[in-house]
Structure 1
Amino acid sequence: ARWLLGYLLAVKIPTVSFSASEQNTTALKEFDQLLRRVFPKIFSSSLVQHEMVGNYSHLLTVPGSEPDLEPYMLLAHIDVVPADEADGWDAPPFSAQELNGFIYGRGTIDNKQSVMGILQALEYLLEQGYTPRRSFYIGLGHDEEISGPQGAVNIVKLLKSRGVKLLYVLDEGLTIMDGVVDGLIGPGALIGVSEKGQATVKLSVSTPPGHSSMPPRESSIGILASAVTRLEKNRMPNLFGHGPERATFEHLAHKFGWPYRMVMSNLWLFSSLLSSVLEGQPDTNAFVRTTTAVTMFNSGVKINVMPAYAEAFVNFRIHSSQTLQEVLKLIKSTISDERVKVEFVSGFDPLPISSYDEDTFGYQIIKKTVHDIFPEVTVSPGICVGNTDSRHYTELSPDIYRFAPSWYKPGDSARFHGVNERISIQNYEEIVLFYFQLMQNSDIRNLPGPRT
């Protein structure tokens, strides 16, 4: 089928962001040519305005027939993280090979399924002669994996300069979880209503150098290792219930079996029990606290020389109810060693929490669209533990949501930025239908009344 061929070709192009200063720009140019070839209606339509931003990102404007309706925006990103077949892939990471109904390849779930799904949906609508009532924008960033400094940041600048205000923004983020949450009966779609903040700190220790035959009582490596151990052992506080993560379980409570349902339905009583269960697994622990990840450690020059210098980098993902400054204070008090220099490298506060009320247009339209395509799925608000391009859009809209209807089953979270990233052919088709339906559902003037 034509819709699948375009997606396979997209996965084959290695649009890798290697580092903040290195991207595969040849692949990004090739990707641009592919889009023009695969979606002829979009690029020839007098309705759609297309602009290149920051050389390789795309901004599409689709004006509606009723300009008084506030526009919305769909986001996705073209770039991917590196992948090496030697890490143990079942199929080469840029082959888009099909195995047992799944397409394997880097970018299949992060995030080319959304890039191609959104454009395929728009192409179908244009083929049918569809003109939307409500204007909308599509932003496709080319450098999300390195924080979006040229793509998303410049798209936002451009829209701000035009005075654009958005009713809602939808980007990648959370997914449909199936069999991943203990005790949950049936699949649950989590719509990210916020995302965690971030802090990276550099810890360093300097000591006089010397010969390894006459070592001091403590080396620079030993002092630094102790500081890092203190950070890992003394985790940041469990803050379950202070952010939107509590609402996730309240919305899903009726879908849990016994005895989980009793716990979820009475969080006023069982909150501490649930929070201690959640912190037992790395993927759910990330929901309840600011996480601590020691990611780089460098020291030493020669086997018989006491190192004069040791450094480590630690990455924190900040819980919704904390601020960057609070976390930096906690880091210093936990290390509590004057010999360890703590330097702030980069970071930002957690993102504002978007509304998920019954009368919030964006959330309810996304929820309705999920139910249209997946009637068996329960929808709830959630917290996005990673970061997305949408964090740059807070000045354009108070309501930013992070969700793509990719199915996650047990073990699939390890494929994200990992080995054997894949998507089923059926799921890609569902994603196209989801955006196709969302564009039409967003065309209503007002939300329908609540179901009775």
Structure 2
Amino acid sequence: MSAEKWEKNEEIQIFREYLRIPSVHPNIDYTACVEFIRRQADSLNLPVDVVYPAVKSKPVVIIKWEGSQPKLPSIILNSHMDVVPVFPEKWTHEPFSADIDEEGRIFARGAQDMKSVGTQYLGAIRLLKADGFQPKRTLYVTFVPDEEIGGIHGMAAFVETDFYKQMNVGFSLDEGGTSASDVHHLFYAERIRWILKLKVGGTAGHGSLLLPDTAGVKFNYVLNKLTEFRESQIQLLKNDQSLSIGDVTTVNLTQLSGGVQSNVVPPLLEAIFDMRLSITLDLVAFERQIRNWCEEAGGGIDIEFPLKEAYVAPTKLDDSNPYWLALKAALDELGLKVKPIVCFAVTDCRFIRQQGTPAIGFSPIVNTAVLIHDHDEFLRADNYLNGIQVYKKIIPSLAEV
């Protein structure tokens, strides 16, 4: 099918319109997103609310499709409106033009992560309403801000509001991961995110001397220990092919600062590490190990955790979870290959799970180059439309639990 034929498809038009809204960090103005979603809700003849759970510039938009038994716990279909920054010079298409080529590839930031999912929900609901379907459970289609910067003013704040509590949520579906194969990755848990900041103090002086207990020597000791631990996780992955990146702990040095000029030994070095901890890791023992390494280095190292998320229990994928059984039944009926994994990053699902509510991340994007946060992010039009059909099967299955 040529690009011209894809362009005439109503669902593709809606998707591309959403992609053209530059809801890109930093300092996003969500006004255009809210207006777009309001128009979509009107076209579906569904009510829409806009809530500001934390900051006036950070809206949560909620479309409601009331169920025939509204007192039952509801279903959330969640997506986020924000996208990560772009480097336009690295793109072959303007990042917010939503250009479509002769192969049907739609190029735009957010094509995979995750504006596609938000409008696919709506496309599926459009088909279901046209078929006369009435959900038993109330469905909420939520569009949240700031997921890409931690969700603190988005879903994290929203789940604490009275509005959310009145929604009586029983289950949430959210983003999964793009797959380069025909296997769909399904997230039932997420690693625990910690940010470690070390302020390493030491002897200062002239750069020509061999001074004792310098910040550089102390930092080198701790860095080596963390690197050895990192290497142990690499070996775990190599030795057990059943594991994925979400099953191990990652440690990466992301920021390093200190010093004034080349011939002055600095009194202080600061380092920041991004850590994504396995849900099987003993968190108390791991923190104790870090503190012990800092003492072994010679002391004088201040340890801070600018971010230190707590353990959140995984969503159960067994007979005790009727929502999982319903989702699995729909996926099996569609004949889809599915691999449940621990999400290697973090999504808004963790805030839902913290409330004791099961949540699963799922994406219908398969057989596609994984370009999440990358240059020339794209999604094929046929893949997008197929995703609508997938959600058309999943949504009724969940709504009828």
**TM score, norm. by length of structure 2:** 0.86
Q: What is the rounded CA distance, in whole Å, between the counterparts of 1:214 and 1:395 in structure 2?
A: 53
Q: Which moved more, 1:389-398 or 1:144-153?
A: 389-398
Q: What is the rounded CA distance, in whole Å, between the counterparts of 2:171 and 2:180 in structure 1?
A: 23
Cα RMSD (Å) of the superposition? 2.8
AA matched with 1:370: L
Q: Is the 8 A contact 1:198 1:348 kept in 2?
A: yes
The gaps in structure 2 that reach 5 residues or longer are 1-8
SS of equivalent residue, structure 2 residue 230: coil
Which residue does 2:51 correspond to in 1?
52
Q: What is the rounded CA distance, in whole Å, between the counterparts of 1:230 and 1:395 in structure 2?
A: 32
Shift of 1:217: 5.7
Which residue does 2:265 correspond to in 1?
306
Q: What is the rounded CA distance, in whole Å, between the counterparts of 1:48 and 1:210 in structure 2?
A: 68
AA matched with 1:398: T
Matched, 1:107 2:110: yes
Of residues 146, 150, 154, the one that matches 2:149 is 146
AA matched with 2:310: D
Number of equivalenced pairs = 386
Q: Is the 8 A contact 1:62 1:136 kept in 2?
A: yes
SS of equivalent residue, structure 2 residue 365: strand
Which residue does 1:293 correspond to in 2?
252
Q: How is 1:23-422 mapped onto 2 (pairs within 5 angstroms)? A: 23-25=27-29, 28-42=30-44, 45=45, 47-54=46-53, 55-86=58-89, 88-99=90-101, 100-158=103-161, 162-176=165-179, 178=181, 187-214=182-209, 216=211, 219-235=214-230, 276-278=239-241, 286-335=245-294, 336-337=296-297, 338-358=299-319, 360-373=321-334, 375=335, 377-407=336-366, 409=368, 412-413=369-370, 415-422=371-378
Q: What is the rounded CA distance, in whole Å, between the counterparts of 1:4 and 1:326 in structure 2?
A: 51
Q: What is the rounded CA distance, in whole Å, between the counterparts of 1:394 and 1:65 in structure 2?
A: 26
Q: What is the rounded CA distance, in whole Å, between the counterparts of 2:180 and 2:87 in structure 1?
A: 27
Q: What is the rounded CA distance, in whole Å, between the counterparts of 1:421 and 1:328 in structure 2?
A: 37
Q: What is the rounded CA distance, in whole Å, between the counterparts of 1:161 and 1:380 in structure 2?
A: 30
Shift of 1:61: 2.5
Shift of 1:305: 2.5
Change (3 A) 1:199 1:395: closer
Q: Deviations over 1:348-385 (max 9, x none)?
A: 13321211114632222222333444x2x322321111
Which residue does 1:8 correspond to in 2?
16
Q: What is the rounded CA distance, in whole Å, between the counterparts of 1:66 and 1:239 in structure 2?
A: 50
Shift of 1:297: 0.8
Q: Is the 8 A contact 2:184 2:363 kept in 1?
A: no
Change (3 A) 1:63 1:159: farther
Shift of 1:215: 5.5
Q: Which moved more, 1:124-133 or 1:424-433?
A: 124-133
**TM score, norm. by length of structure 1:** 0.77
Change (3 A) 1:226 1:89: farther
Q: Which moved more, 1:189-198 or 1:329-338?
A: 329-338
Of residues 392, 395, 398, the one that matches 1:436 is 392
Q: Is the 8 A contact 1:132 1:440 kept in 2?
A: yes
Of residues 425, 429, 448, the one that matches 2:381 is 425
Shift of 1:235: 2.9
Q: What is the rounded CA distance, in whole Å, between the counterparts of 1:239 and 1:217 in structure 2?
A: 34
Q: What is the rounded CA distance, in whole Å, between the counterparts of 1:278 and 1:333 in structure 2?
A: 32
Q: What is the rounded CA distance, in whole Å, between the counterparts of 1:204 and 1:394 in structure 2?
A: 34
Shift of 1:58: 0.8
Change (3 A) 1:237 1:72: farther
SS of equivalent residue, structure 1 residue 30: helix
Q: What is the rounded CA distance, in whole Å, between the counterparts of 2:234 and 2:322 in structure 1?
A: 29
Q: What is the rounded CA distance, in whole Å, between the counterparts of 2:60 and 2:167 in structure 1?
A: 18
SS of equivalent residue, structure 1 residue 154: helix
SS of equivalent residue, structure 1 residue 171: strand
Q: Deviations over 1:197-224 (max 9, x none)?
A: 1111111222343333445366423432
Q: Which moved more, 1:121-130 or 1:189-198?
A: 121-130
Change (3 A) 1:294 1:209: same
Shift of 1:102: 1.5
Q: Which moved more, 1:102-111 or 1:358-367?
A: 358-367
Q: Is the 8 A contact 2:48 2:61 kept in 1?
A: no
Shift of 1:329: 1.6
Shift of 1:72: 1.5
Report % sequence identity: 22
Q: Is the 8 A contact 2:203 2:213 kept in 1?
A: no
SS of equivalent residue, structure 2 residue 223: helix
Shift of 1:112: 0.5
Q: Which moved more, 1:214-223 or 1:418-427?
A: 214-223
Q: What is the rounded CA distance, in whole Å, between the counterparts of 1:306 and 1:396 in structure 2?
A: 49
Q: What is the rounded CA distance, in whole Å, between the counterparts of 2:395 and 2:158 in structure 1?
A: 21
Change (3 A) 1:300 1:322: same
AA matched with 1:315: D
Change (3 A) 1:236 1:137: farther
Q: What is the rounded CA distance, in whole Å, between the counterparts of 1:14 and 1:327 in structure 2?
A: 41
Q: Deviations over 1:395-426 (max 9, x none)?
A: 544321111111155xx34x222222221111
